[in-house]
Amino acid sequence: MRHLLSAVFFALLLALSLHCPGPALAASKTPDPFKSVKKRLIKDGFSQEKVDLYFKDGIRHFAVKGVSGYFMHNEAKLNYSRFLKPTPLATGKNYLTNYAGPLSLAEKEYGVDKEIITSVLMVETALGGYIGNSRVFDILSTLASLSDPVAKERLWRQVPQEKRISRKRFDKKAKDKALWAYIELKSLLTYSAQINKAPGEFIGSYAGAMGIPQFMPSRILQLGVDGDNDGMVDLFTHEDAIASVANYLRHFGWKPGIKKERAIKVLMRYNHSTYYANTLYDIMEALKKESVR
């Protein structure tokens, strides 16, 4: 009899729970925008356990604010020339003095002028003063998720309408960015395992570039250097940042005594803008004028 009563009681509970879904059940009905990204990561060799752990905060990883900039009309004007003013140049010169050891070492080992390394770090992050405030994992996951129509629609609905680009451009951009970001996301996960740091802990730019020299995760794996020999590449340290920039520039063709025309081409591999590359070159020249060689 007690068994029968229990059975009736549980049947009643079950019926009630079906009619009145609790918050957890209701939340599970929201389509998961990361469903296909997670599936692909597992297919590409990441363990289900790890993937579940990375995405444990669910929808909170969906960085609408962080990625919206890609899909809005942007009137912001770049002003790299401000770095050629006396105050930033004085800061650059101080950096050349304060980090003379690692800079000279990198110059000798990679054949890359210490003033161009300093110039890159000045323009990228004001020598480490501004390294971005976006969670790189969320940015890359959100962009990678856009190959899934559910995620794409979710973002389209949330990008501020008054500044939103056309639907046609949005679709094209979402497709391209998703392909690119998925590769970078995999690189981030590989890198985070290498240095034993949770992927969610990395902070970077709105594009997912990290550290004092702003490398994308794939570039860290390819060209990052452990400048201070502590066993890991950590671009938030100056020694590693300096050696990695030198390695990057050498990789793309920088040589001692390089001519300006060739140097500009190499610098454009860092950022595809002639304005950017020319400014870096001019900063290098200005720093050389007074630095002790």
Nearer to Ca ion, 146 or 223 (CB): 223
DSSP string over 86-106: HHHHHHHHHHHHHTHHHHHHH
Q: What DSSP character marks residue 215?
A: B
Sites for Ca ion among residues 209-248 (CB under 5 A): 226, 228, 230, 234, 240
Least distance (Å) between residue 55 CB and Ca ion: 29
Nearer to Ca ion, 226 or 282 (CB): 226
Contacts with Ca ion: how many residues (CB under 5 A)?
A: 5
Q: Which of 218, 155, 159, 219 is nearest to 186 (CA)?
A: 218
Instruction: Quote the least distance from Cβ 236 to Ca ion, whole Å.
Output: 10
Nearest CB to Ca ion, comparing residues 174 and 220: 220
Q: How far is the CB of 240 from Ca ion (least distance, A)?
A: 4
Structure tokens at 230: 């502590």
Say how far apart CA 132 and CA 180 lie, in whole Å: 20
Instruction: State which residue, 176 or 230, has the beta carbon closest to Ca ion.
Output: 230
CB of 232 to Ca ion, least distance (A): 5
For residue 204, what are the β-bridge partners? Answer: 134, 210
Residue 76 per-residue DSSP state: P
Question: Smallest distance from the beta carbon of 21 to Ca ion, in angstroms?
Answer: 51
Q: For Ca ion, give the closer residue by CB, 123 or 235.
A: 235
CB of 286 to Ca ion, least distance (A): 30
Q: Closest separation between CB of residue 221 and Ca ion, Å?
A: 14
For Ca ion, give the closer residue by CB, 109 or 226.
226
Q: Nearer to Ca ion by C-beta: 57 or 230?
A: 230
Binding mask 161-200 for Ca ion (x = CB under 5 A): ----------------------------------------
Site for Ca ion in 37-66 (CB under 5 A): none
Site for Ca ion in 90-149 (CB under 5 A): none
Burial class (CB in 10 A: 0-12, 13-18, 19+), 282: middle
Q: How far is CA 38 from the centre of its chain?
A: 19
Which residue is it, tokens 């200005």?
A: 286
Any residues with CB less than 8 A from the CB of 62 and at least 6 apart, and which?
33, 34, 138, 141, 142, 145, 151, 154, 155
Length of the chain: 293
User: Are the C-beta atoms of residues 161 and 228 closer than 8 Å to each other?
Assistant: no
Q: How far is CA 50 from the centre of its chain?
A: 20
Instruction: Note the residues at the interface with Ca ion (CB under 5 A).
Output: 226, 228, 230, 234, 240
